[in-house]
Structure 1
Amino acid sequence: MLDPSIRVQVLDSITDVPAAQWDALAGADAPPFIRHAWLAAMEESGSAQEETGWAPHHLTLWRGGTLVAASPAYFKFHSMGEYIYDFAWAQVAQRMGVAYYPKLLIGAPLSPATAPRFLVAEGENVSDARHAIMEAAIESAREEGCSSVHVLYPTEEEADFLERTGMARRLTLQFHWKNPGYQSYEDYLSRFTSKRRNQFKRERGAAAGQGITLRTVPGSELGPEHARRAHGFYAATCERHAWGQVQLTPDFFARVFRAMPEAMEMVEAVRGGKVVAGAFNAVTKERLYGRYWGCFEEHPFLHFNVCLYHSVEESIRAGRKVFEPGAGGEHKVARGFEPTAVHSAHLLFDPRLDRTIRDALRRERAHLALAVEEAERLAGLKPWPLEGV
């Protein structure tokens, strides 16, 4: 039972919460996407606002003036920028005569990375806080005429909790590079067959033959020109694809580069003194998160070099344990990125739609093991020798 001294408050802007209190809940080593500065940049830049289909609706618990628990949350009016794809669910709802939008989403906008979704102060009852937040989520979602509540990219332990409360659990795959203790890039290559090693060396060597050099620009060196360039690459990629939709504004990049440089970096590909391609990444001590890439010139294997090979080598040098290159993954599997489960939880208020989605998720999960088996076969990684063996 929730402590009666705690009150629930729903906020329509992350800036209604003092940054220091929010970040104290998130913790010093929090993924960038749940930090106050990231969410504030999303909202204040106009990237995640009601006009763009993301209406802030943050769920918070307070004891007096002290924040004791919180979840970032948004009313959604479309399914873009989530990467746990439910477009087919919306189509099924339409056929049933159910309005699928708006829906309530607990998670971070445009950030397909696992991170805690229930931020709870040390010493508080975690289970009670989570239950209170979910009760507030369901109540406010119903009041606003939402079809559903969705928790995207929670931790596995949080997903266990949500499943126990009766939400439908979904497993999907991302493809992550994992570091079992490499001392060099050659250690990494040694896990592949000779044929695959030669393929990687040929693809990596293409950059030099094209007159392209690659460099990681750390956050301490990122300035306004880098923010403009990052948005340019991001927009160019979105506009190149029929499914692409430019959602982030130039001001978003400027804000995060300025507010949290220690968690930002860019990879730049330079040819003839001109930056022709790049990738915007987020970092912690142990993880690298690939976010957005783009190019102004097309060259064979440029994408692999900017987004994969260069950052794998940099991660080994920095001693990072995991490199998460984002959603999607067919081309990553053959380059040694391993299938990794990511979680989500869903509650559909219409009983017919809820039954239909749960049936679909059971079928989807039955095929997941086969997909993992095939991905592991394609990755072709040899076992890494244990230390001392």
Structure 2
Amino acid sequence: MASSEITLEAVSSVSQIPAEDWDACANPASAPDTLDGLDTLASPSDYCSNLISHYNPFISHAFFSSLEGSGSACARTGWGPRHLLARLEGTIAGIVPCYLKSHSQGEYVFDRGWADAYERAGGRYYPKLQASVPFTPAAGPRLLIRGGADHERIATALASGLVALCGVSKASSVHVTFAREAEWKLLAAHGFLQRTDQQFHWHNQGYGSFEDFLATLNSRHRKAIRRERREALAEGITIHPLTGSDITEDAWNAFFAFYMETGSRKWGRPYLTRAFFSLIGESMAKDVLLVMARRNGRWIAGAINFIGSDTLFGRNWGAIEHHPFLHFEVCYYQAIDFAIRRGLKTVEAGAQGEHKIARGYLPQTTYSAHYIADPDLRRAISDYLRHERAYVAEAARELTHAGPFRKTADEPF
């Protein structure tokens, strides 16, 4: 008996997809984790092995609804939704969150050099398709597949669908960024180029307290962290971790002021609107950790984090007063403290920042896949990426070796 046909379509808003269908694909009760050792497309048995229950707040319907409903990610800001759906017997079995973009801002995987070179050669790089979570450099599934579905078959259809959508949209390329390694390998089998980069993540080794973590560091770094935590709270500063109903509109107002002040200096134009923070406060406050600093009766700094089933994802930071080491305390040390208390395995501290190594965050490879329609541009980028992957791998080895952890068990405490 012939299997049912998979049909593909693209929609122009997350609101066109029922939340229950989206979340059944994005965060199913059981989802494939990693496919270690696979160099090409996985077999069904491999692709469906090692099933885990894993919640990622960034790929939830609520998060995308907040981005689009707030006007943060929309056609006006250069993020025109083109979410790709795979239907099987009328049911949505797979989704790729995707946007038609007129620029390369807010992505954290940088391709502006590719765009400049292509346009100097007479090509048109924009529009392009971006399969990602806007403004969010956090790894996670990009081919969202309903639990219980034939993962290999749906993933293959979605990969082919992205290439077809590129042609229909008259886009130069498709960029699947911060994907899982298994998806990176699968997409390579469908003509996508492979790119790597690195972030810095903290890993919980079953610590019972922050002091247990410090005990694993060498003496120099352990003393430095204790000093930084002590000096960060000078000037009468207090730290307030807020979650759920403790996050009031007053706290959101203060945090948005921090975000705008810092974002304006870093990016020129911050990406997220004030409405975005109210929307996530309404729909997913239980998934948010807002670490706020207070001095003389007013909020002065803060960092927003999102809580997954085993990972704390650090995102934006901002401040209206600047004090030594306050950034490290609010963003890194409070995140570690929270992860230890909650029993979370990992803290992902966002993009870039080799200074995180001294605070116990080690290099972690990130993966992106790129379909380039023009064969000449594709050849040039393919050669560039081959050298870049080798550099990223070597840099990770060197940085890991330079980490702050004690090299021998008998190193003095």
2:104 alignment partner, one of 76, 79, 83: 79
Taking structure 1 as reference, are residues 210 and 377 closer, same or farther at Cα in structure 2, changes over 3 Å only?
farther
Tell me which stretches of 4 or more aligned residues in structure 1 moved more than 6 Å: none
> Which residue in the other structure is 2:7 paired with?
7
CA contact (8 A) 2:56 2:309 kept: no
Residue 140 of structure 1 deviates from its aligned partner by: 2.1
Q: Deviations over 1:237-265 (max 9, x none)?
A: 11122x44311100011101111111112
> Which residue in the other structure is 1:21 paired with?
21
Taking structure 1 as reference, are residues 5 and 350 closer, same or farther at Cα in structure 2, changes over 3 Å only?
closer
Structure 1 residue 141 and structure 2 residue 133: aligned? no
Residue 3 of structure 1 deviates from its aligned partner by: 4.4
Residue 62 of structure 1 deviates from its aligned partner by: 2.0
SS class of match (1:157): helix
> Which residue in the other structure is 2:128 paired with?
103
Residue 330 of structure 1 deviates from its aligned partner by: 1.5
Residue 122 of structure 1 deviates from its aligned partner by: 2.8
CA contact (8 A) 1:191 1:383 kept: no
Taking structure 1 as reference, are residues 384 and 256 closer, same or farther at Cα in structure 2, changes over 3 Å only?
farther
> Which residue in the other structure is 1:47 paired with?
72
Structure 1 residue 275 and structure 2 residue 315: aligned? no
State the AA in 2 paired with 1:75: L
User: 2:269, 2:395 → 1: CA distance?
Assistant: 28
Taking structure 1 as reference, are residues 11 and 4 closer, same or farther at Cα in structure 2, changes over 3 Å only?
same
> Which residue in the other structure is 1:329 paired with?
353
State the AA in 1 paired with 2:131: I
Taking structure 1 as reference, are residues 3 and 41 closer, same or farther at Cα in structure 2, changes over 3 Å only?
farther
User: 1:209, 1:238 → 2: CA distance?
Assistant: 25
Structure 1 residue 119 and structure 2 residue 148: aligned? no
Deviates more, 1:376-385 or 1:272-281: 376-385
Taking structure 1 as reference, are residues 258 and 314 closer, same or farther at Cα in structure 2, changes over 3 Å only?
same
> Which residue in the other structure is 2:397 paired with?
373
Residue 284 of structure 1 deviates from its aligned partner by: 1.7
Structure 1 residue 301 and structure 2 residue 329: aligned? no
Q: Deviations over 1:112-158 (max 9, x none)?
A: 11111112123322122122222222222212221001111111111
Taking structure 1 as reference, are residues 3 and 11 closer, same or farther at Cα in structure 2, changes over 3 Å only?
farther
RMSD: 1.6
Deviates more, 1:91-100 or 1:174-183: 91-100
> Which residue in the other structure is 1:69 paired with?
94
CA contact (8 A) 1:207 1:213 kept: no
User: 1:137, 1:361 → 2: CA distance?
Assistant: 21
Give 5+ residue unaligned stretches, structure 1: none
Q: Deviations over 1:186-223 (max 9, x none)?
A: 11111222121111111000133221111210122223
SS class of match (1:211): coil
User: 1:253, 1:158 → 2: CA distance?
Assistant: 30
CA contact (8 A) 1:57 1:72 kept: yes
State the AA in 2 paired with 1:208: L
1:259 alignment partner, one of 277, 280, 283: 283
> Which residue in the other structure is 1:184 paired with?
209
State the AA in 1 paired with 2:12: D
State the AA in 1 paired with 2:179: P
CA contact (8 A) 1:180 1:384 kept: no
> Which residue in the other structure is 2:185 paired with?
160
Deviates more, 1:295-304 or 1:207-216: 207-216
CA contact (8 A) 2:242 2:290 kept: yes
User: 1:140, 1:164 → 2: CA distance?
Assistant: 18
CA contact (8 A) 1:276 1:295 kept: yes
CA contact (8 A) 1:191 1:384 kept: no
Using structure 2 for the length normalisation, give the TM-score.
Answer: 0.89
Structure 1 residue 93 and structure 2 residue 103: aligned? no
Deviates more, 1:115-124 or 1:284-293: 115-124
CA contact (8 A) 2:159 2:190 kept: no
User: 2:330, 2:243 → 1: CA distance?
Assistant: 15
How many residue pairs end up in the alignment?
A: 383
Residue 377 of structure 1 deviates from its aligned partner by: 3.0
CA contact (8 A) 1:53 1:76 kept: yes
Give 5+ residue unaligned stretches, structure 2: 30-53
CA contact (8 A) 1:217 1:266 kept: yes
State the AA in 1 paired with 2:304: F
User: 1:384, 1:154 → 2: CA distance?
Assistant: 35
SS class of match (1:277): strand
SS class of match (1:317): helix
State the AA in 2 paired with 1:104: L
State the AA in 2 paired with 1:365: R
User: 2:279, 2:3 → 1: CA distance?
Assistant: 37
SS class of match (1:152): strand
State the AA in 1 paired with 2:359: R
Residue 65 of structure 1 deviates from its aligned partner by: 4.3
